[in-house]
């Protein structure tokens, strides 16, 4: 057999195999109109909240409803830490983290250029010298391997179109002893006034994080509406 033909055939089969695995990972189904027609590990993926939702991210009552001050305490931030705020949106949490880490660094990552522009304006206006924006993609956080001590995701993971690929990207970006903090509205609590597709249960989160290689260290149950789940490699 011609060697070039063999190599070409092998590469072609490899690509087909990778596509098949990807297709098996996600299924094209879901009945909730607030989601996309795509499910992962039994969960329909929610539609992304665009930059048109900035007003909601910046709503005055957010501190009361979510107790963001307590969330920041839960992160156990230290001077000099490197923190990635994934799905940073308006930079609401990035600016709070900025004040706690001194000469450390906050990477505000988002996939929407409009969100990045908003955060850049906030950085300039509020003089947040230790915050840098990163334009990510649907499959990558665009951060170097082993570069951050902590990853924070607040009410965003359930909107990832490619949660597995994003999870792998985040896993690689964390340092060996790094932590991933997953904050999601509690699906177990019917009193939480959020659409069901924008909630996650602890069991579902643990199942999906385990698929990537993360293990739940603890779930801090001191927020009004949300899980605060700490995952480690």
Per-residue pLDDT tens digits for 116-140: 999 999 999 999 999 999 999 999 9
Predicted confidence (pLDDT) at residue 64 exceeds the cutoff of 80: yes
Residue 9, domain member (yes or no): no
The pLDDT assigned to 6 comes to 40
The residue-averaged pLDDT of 180-189 equals 98
User: Which pTM does this prediction carry?
Assistant: 0.89
How many domains does the chain fold into?
A: 1
Residue 10, domain member (yes or no): no
The pLDDT assigned to 23 comes to 55
* Host domain of residue 184: 27-232
Residue 4, domain member (yes or no): no
Residue 15, domain member (yes or no): no
Predicted confidence (pLDDT) at residue 143 exceeds the cutoff of 80: yes
Give one DSSP letter per residue of the chain, joined into a string. --HHHHHHHHHHHHHHHHHHHHHHHEES----TTEEEEEETTEEEEPPP-GGGHHHHT-TTHHHHH-HHHHHHHTT--TT-EEEEET-TTTHHHHHHHTTSTTSEEEEEES-HHHHHHHHHHHHHHT-TTEEEEE--SS-----TT-EEEEEEES-GGG-SSHHHHHHHHHHHEEEEEEEEEEEEETT-TTS-S-GGGEE-HHHHHHHHHHHT-EEEEE---SSSEEEEEEE-
Residue 11, domain member (yes or no): no
- Give the CATH number of the domain where residue 48 resides: 3.40.50.150
The pLDDT assigned to 24 comes to 83
Residue 8, domain member (yes or no): no
pLDDT: which is higher, 9 or 89: 89
- Mean residue pLDDT of the chain comes to 91
Predicted confidence (pLDDT) at residue 175 exceeds the cutoff of 80: yes
Query: How does pLDDT run across 214-230, given as a tens digit for each residue?
Result: 999 999 999 999 999 99
The residue-averaged pLDDT of 147-153 equals 98
Query: How does pLDDT run across 17-62, given as a tens digit for each residue?
Result: 334 445 589 999 788 999 999 999 999 999 998 888 798 899 999 9
């Amino acid at each position: 057999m011609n060697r070039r033909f063999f190599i070409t055939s092998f590469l072609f089969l490899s690509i087909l195999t990778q596509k098949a695995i990807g297709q098996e990972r996600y299924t094209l189904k879901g009945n909730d109109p607030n989601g996309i027609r795509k499910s992962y590990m039994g969960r329909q993926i929610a539609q992304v909240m665009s930059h048109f939702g900035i007003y909601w991210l910046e709503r005055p009552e957010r501190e009361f409803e979510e107790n963001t001050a307590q969330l920041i305490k839960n992160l156990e931030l230290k001077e000099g830490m490197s923190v990635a705020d994934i799905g940073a949106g308006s930079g609401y949490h990035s600016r709070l983290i900025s004040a706690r880490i001194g000469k450390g660094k906050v990477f505000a990552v988002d996939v929407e250029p409009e969100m990045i522009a908003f955060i850049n304006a906030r950085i300039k206006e509020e003089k947040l010298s230790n915050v840098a924006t990163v334009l990510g993609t649907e499959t990558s956080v665009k951060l170097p391997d082993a570069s951050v001590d902590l990853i924070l995701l607040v009410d965003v993971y359930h909107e990832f179109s490619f949660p597995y690929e994003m999870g792998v990207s985040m896993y690689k970006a964390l340092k060996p002893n790094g932590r991933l903090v997953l904050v999601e509205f509690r699906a177990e609590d019917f009193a939480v006034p959020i659409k069901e597709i924008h909630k996650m249960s602890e069991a579902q989160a643990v199942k999906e994080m385990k698929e990537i290689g993360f293990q739940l260290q603890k779930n801090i149950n001191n927020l009004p509406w949300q899980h605060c789940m700490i995952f480690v490699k």
